[in-house]
């Protein structure tokens, strides 16, 4: 009994460069995916640092709401990037007018910065990718 080969198949030895061409097509896409993942991870780490720093600032601000410079220093001392803008707000009155013992007084510390992707910066012109604004905030009642 004879086994007939399918005439639509090509033997492996007749396509020596096929895997090289497949690699050349797939490698840029895989690298783009890898670099995008790295940027996303960096952005997440920056956000977590900013959130933790805002929490540290609001913890200090709960006991000293009128010391806004001290609150900003606490936030920057926690390791956030240098270009992070820190905003301190109190409600229902300004932070300098809050009296300890007010029941409804809250303090909010916001940290904002612009994240610029490093690894995918060459794609900004093609896909309109630009800087991303990161914002983290923490709110707490002022200690009575």
29-87 tens-digit pLDDT: 898 889 889 989 999 999 999 999 999 999 999 989 989 999 999 999 998 988 999 99
- Phi (first) and psi of residue 7, to 5 degrees: -80, -5
Confidence of residue 11 (pLDDT cuts 50, 70, 90): low
> How many angstroms from the chain centroid is the CA of residue 18?
40
- Residue that wins the pLDDT comparison between 7 and 143: 143
93-114 tens-digit pLDDT: 888 888 777 778 899 999 999 9
pLDDT of residue 17: 83
Asked if residue 56 lies in contact with residue 78, where contact means CB atoms within 8 angstroms, the answer is yes
Element (H, E) at 99: none
Poorest-confidence range of 12-21, 89-98, 110-119? 12-21
pLDDT of residue 12: 57
> How many angstroms from the chain centroid is the CA of residue 77?
19
The CA-to-CA distance between both ends of the chain, in Å, stands at: 96
- Gap between the Cα atoms of 32 and 23, Å rounded: 14
pLDDT of residue 98: 82
Instruction: Spell out the residues 6+ positions from residue 18 whose beta carbon is closer than 8 angstroms to its own.
Output: none
110 strand-pairing partners = 87, 137
Domain map of the chain by residue range? 16-141
Confidence of residue 10 (pLDDT cuts 50, 70, 90): low
121-137 tens-digit pLDDT: 777 777 777 788 999 99
Strand arrangement, sheet containing 106-115:
85-91, 106-115, 132-141
| Pair of tokens at residue 33 | 């995916």
């Amino acid at each position: 009994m004879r086994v007939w080969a399918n005439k639509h198949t090509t033997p492996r030895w007749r396509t020596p460069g096929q895997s090289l061409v497949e690699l050349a097509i797939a490698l840029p896409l895989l690298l783009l995916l890898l670099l995008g993942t790295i940027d996303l991870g960096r952005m997440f780490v920056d956000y977590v640092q900013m959130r933790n720093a805002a929490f540290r600032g609001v913890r200090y601000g709960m006991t000293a709401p009128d010391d806004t410079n001290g609150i900003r220093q606490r936030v920057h001392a926690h390791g956030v990037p240098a270009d992070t803008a820190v905003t301190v707000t109190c409600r229902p009155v300004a932070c300098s007018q809050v009296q300890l013992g007010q029941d409804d007084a809250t303090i909010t510390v916001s940290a904002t910065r612009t994240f610029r992707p490093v690894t995918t910066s060459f794609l900004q012109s093609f896909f309109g990718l630009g800087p991303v604004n990161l914002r983290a905030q923490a709110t707490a009642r002022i200690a009575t």
